[in-house]
Amino acid sequence: MPRCRLRRARFEAGEAVTPLQHQEALLKLRQDDELVQEEVFAPVLTVQPFTDETEALEMANGVPYGLASSVWTNDVARVHRLSRELDFGCVWVNTRGPLAAEMPHGGYDHSGHGKDLSAYSFAEYTRIKHVMTRFA
């Protein structure tokens, strides 16, 4: 995060995660900033302005990673549209971070291969083969 401080990002402290760790919101980031282009495993939210839904999708999908994304809206049609178009293994709507054991979890692209949690994770440990035979 120090590189962003030097560049122009504005930090907003959020609620405490632990006594020594707070959630951070980083505002005024550019698409090419490291915190936008890289996966960050910390309680950080990047906020970028956009002009319309098309630009927002291009920006969201314009990263090499695809673990999770979130959509914040009350428009159900927008939720369906964006969740179809977002190239991420997980799309949260009006929330962020919850995992459910019965739902698959895992990313696309550089975020890894396969899923964990849920019955879908078993596919990673199996080799499925289909054999069809006909004796005439």
Average pLDDT over residues 66-82: 90
Residue 13: per-residue pLDDT = 57
Q: Comparing 2 with 100, which gets the higher pLDDT? A: 100
Per-residue pLDDT of 87-108, as tens digits, reads 988 888 998 777 777 777 777 7
pLDDT tens profile 16-62:
555 555 567 777 788 888 888 888 777 777 888 889 999 999 999 99
pTM beyond 0.85: the answer is no
Q: Which CATH number fits domain 50-136: 3.40.309.10, 3.40.50.300, 3.40.50.920, 1.10.3720.10?
A: 3.40.309.10
b/e code 88-111 from CB counts within 10 Å (16+ = b) = bbbbebeeeeeeeeeebbbbeeeb
